[in-house]
Chain A
Amino acid sequence: MNNSSYETVIGLEVHAQLLTETKIFCSCKPEYGADPNTRICPVCMGLPGALPVLNRESVTMAIMMGLALRCDIAAVSEFSRKNYFYPDCPKNYQISMYDKPLCKNGFVEIETDNGPRNIRIERIHLEDDAGKMSHETGKDSLVDFNRCGVPLIEIVSRPDIRTGLEAVKYLVRVQQILRYLGICDGNLEEGSMRCDVNISLRPAGSTELGTKTEIKNLNSFKAIEKGVEFEVERQRRVLEEGGSIEQVTNLWDADSGRLVMMRSKEEANDYRYFPEPDLLPLEVDGEWIDGVRDMIPELPLEKERRFREEYMLSNYDSGVLCAEKGIADYFEIVAESTGLAKKSANWVMREIMRALKNLGCAIETFPVEPEKLAGLIALVEDGIISGSAGQDVFAEMIKSGADPKEVVKKLGLEQISDSSELENMVDSIIAAHPEEGERYREGKKKLLGFFVGQVMRESRGKANPELARNILIKKLGS
């Protein structure tokens, strides 16, 4: 059988930790990396008699994501209890939304080989996070409850994704939007953004869904792509051999690059959802939604579109620049003040991004302010300094954060654009190399490069090369 006989159907569940000041139902302050069990109180520990009170900020952030993904926001939504026993959950239930989620029916646009495509969003709902377990093989497990009650949104896609690569593209977009909105830092390794994948195969052309399996514990984009490919291949083999797919949950083991079966359907949990009696239904009125709408910045896709039109940048350039809002903002300041969009884009995409990587710092704390980079680009463009001197000035600016003009003065890098000074220099160089001059005049025009090199050496790189070339051509004669 060939590869096209089955179609892959993938749906994703993304859990995103919201960057609220306090937890979802109590006033504990979430803090990643805090000492274990120091960010807990009777409410998030589920102690008898403690009552949850919903945090307004978490609702605002969830609505933000809902609007950004073009969802309908429910006027009334409801929390339910999802019951299960596990040591990471001291209440023995998770407070989540079940049949009445806050946001419904949205979409995320991704780029595919066949052009842009919408991945539909089924729902986005609010819930509380569980604690964190650390397991030592064969030994006891240790529990830290600090994460209990940290607000999460769960973003559930429809099964519209067809490949591992599309899954990654979707997740990159979701992560980007979360970060643009400033509601989640989207860190897969630290678990502030987590992803579960549902996969099934069906005969090509069929509209019915096959039996699906789930993969959890995918904590990098690479793991997601590989995990999906692995599971698709496994299912394809089973189906091609005439077998049937069992509904299982798998854990991705990053160390071995393999899936480990965690639970089959027979052992599947029965969560016994019921309406949370300690919380009233959540009412969201139009005024609240309008207020949230005003807080939403220009989103990555719109920004990319605008960069292409306004700055005439390529798809690739605008995609790279808009990947991070801070970078996009930085670029815009540089481009506006130089008036040179493509040159500014090149500087930001090469020099700035390389420097950020080397320094391991974010654009927000980068020592060279965009106005100063614009000043540097202008110095190079106006021929005050050479392109290579520009690199030296930039390196110095990263160290000191100084103004480019001061650095140029300090390092004595001003380009010699005074023709009388250059003419004198050219005269003495031609005089010092009569043989090369002769051969040049005999037709070996390539020697012009040799002379330009001599001028650059003599001037310690400060000669304006274009001007030096012209003077040389004139003085060497033909």
Chain B
Amino acid sequence: MLSDDEIKHIEKLARIRLDNDAREKFKGQLSDIIEFVRTLQKVDTTGFESEARKRSFKPFLREGRAGGELERDKVLEQAPDTKNGFFKVPPVIDKD
């Protein structure tokens, strides 16, 4: 079972805030998912190669031909707030 601190950490990472009821509910659901994966991990896979990212063909690579930029007005239309061609967001200082 996930701890309350772990749930709070996940809330923080996902930028959401849960009330106590919701926290209890998701604690159960998230723990179930982790339990499910834990069960899968018990299967003995020695001798099998991982197929999660099996390469069946060479990846397609792009040659550099410029173009396809969007019109700025159209892009900014989607934003809640703009200023002089910039997206405007609440003040932030802390940077990863």
Contact = CB atoms under 8 A, between A and B. Distances in A.
Interface in A44-100: 45, 53-57, 59, 76, 78, 83-88
A1 to B, nearest CB: 35
Given A27-B65, A280-B59, 4 more contacts: A136-B91, A141-B90, A262-B95, A263-B96
Interface centre among B67, B68, B72, by most chain A C-beta atoms within 10 angstroms, is B68
Interface string A453-477: 0000000000000000000000000
Contacts of B95: 86, 88, 216, 262
A27 B61 CA distance: 12
Interface residues of B, number: 37
Interface in B56-96: 58-70, 72, 75-76, 81, 83-96
Contact of B67 (A27, A88, A140, A144): A27
Interface of B: 9, 13, 15, 52-53, 55, 58-70, 72, 75-76, 81, 83-96
A292 interface: no
A346 interface: no
B91 A144 contact: no
A211 interface: no
A455 B40 CA distance: 101
Contacts of A282: 59
B70 A142 contact: no
B43 to A, nearest CB: 20
Interface string A261-276: 0110000011010010
Given A36-B84, A36-B86, A142-B87, A283 B13 contact: no
A263 B95 CA distance: 9
B66 A21 contact: yes
A281 B69 contact: no
Given A37-B72, A37-B76, A53 B61 contact: yes
Nearest to B67: A27
Contact of A281 (B55, B61, B64): B55
B69 A39 contact: yes
A281 B91 contact: no
A322 B92 CA distance: 43
B62 A28 contact: no
Contact of B96 (A56, A269, A280): A269
B62 to A, nearest CB: 5
Given A55-B62, A269-B96, A28 B68 contact: yes
B65 A22 contact: yes
5 contacts: A27-B67, A56-B62, A140-B88, A142-B88, A281-B59
A142 B83 contact: yes
Contacts of B83: 140, 142
Given A140-B89, A279-B59, A281-B53, A40 B70 contact: yes
Contacts of A315: none
Interface centre among A36, A45, A59, by most chain B C-beta atoms within 10 angstroms, is A36
Interface in A109-148: 133-136, 138-145
Contact of A141 (B13, B64, B91): B91
A162 interface: no
A270 B8 CA distance: 13
B59 A41 contact: no
Contacts of A144: 85-87
B59 A27 contact: no
Contacts of A262: 94-95
A260 to B, nearest CB: 10
A419 interface: no
Contacts of A397: none
A208 interface: no
Contact of A139 (B61, B64, B84, B91): B91
B65 to A, nearest CB: 6
Nearest to B57: A280
Nearest to A34: B69
Contact of A56 (B63, B84, B93): B63
Contacts of A303: none
A5 interface: no
A269 B56 CA distance: 35
A314 interface: no
Given A27-B65, A38-B72, A141 B58 contact: no
Contacts of A53: 60-62
Contacts of A42: 70
B72 A275 contact: no
B61 A59 contact: yes
A245 B36 CA distance: 41
Contacts of A134: 86
Contact of A41 (B70, B81, B92, B93): B70
Contacts of A35: 72, 85
B64 A57 contact: yes
